[in-house]
Amino acid sequence: MSWLPEDFVHPVRVPLPDGGHHLRPIRETDTPLDYPAVMGSRERLWDLYGPAWGWPAATMTYEADQADLLRHEKEIAAHESFNYALFDAAETALLGCVYIDPPERSGADAEISWWVVDELVGSKLEQELDALVPRWITAGWPFQRPRFVGREISWQEWLALPEHSDT
């Protein structure tokens, strides 16, 4: 893909300042933790991502989530897009995700969004993630114009932007 330099090496572990949580690329084997996290926060996630991505559907099965995570794992390996999961230190709980994608809408060279499970909304951990992600993207990724969708621009504003073209 032309959106990242050929020699770019994506981070495999990103610690949060609290020392008890980290981000790492999601894998298919994370389904047992991902599925309850997503479905437990499904209504709020649908409000965020549903209009843009059609995700997560109310009828999403465990098998569909597993297939989705396998797709993400393959996209990460190919440097097509990135899904980082937020874990506790022992990786016994998946607490949210960070998405780093090539631009679908014009005006940016990457589109980044993230979420935490319902019980962490408004928590110190969510605040740490909110502060970390823009700093991490700016310092560790080769983007000149990253767009933080749902943060610096609403999903409704994003949907109204013209589609990105490679020309």
Residue 7 lies in a domain: no
Cα separation, 131 vs 35, whole angstroms? 26
pLDDT at 92: 97
Residue 51 lies in a domain: yes
CATH code, domain carrying 85: 3.40.630.30
Residue 57 lies in a domain: yes
**Residue 97 · residue 26 · CB < 8 Å:** yes
Residue 113 lies in a domain: yes
Residue 165 lies in a domain: no
| Mean pLDDT across 100-113 | 96
pLDDT in tens, 56-80: 999 999 999 999 999 999 999 999 9
Residue 4 lies in a domain: no
What band does 166 get if pLDDT is binned at 50, 70 and 90? low
Q: What total number of domains does the chain contain?
A: 1
Number of alpha carbons in the 13 Å side-chain half-sphere of residue 139? 8
The Cα-based distances of 91 to 13, 30, 49 in angstroms read: 12, 9, 25
pLDDT in tens, 5-27: 999 999 999 999 989 999 999 99
What band does 165 get if pLDDT is binned at 50, 70 and 90? confident
Residue 58 lies in a domain: yes
Strands of 146-148's sheet, edge to edge?
14-15, 21-25, 82-88, 94-101, 110-116, 146-148
Parent domain of 133: 14-160
Residue 96 lies in a domain: yes
pLDDT at 1: 45
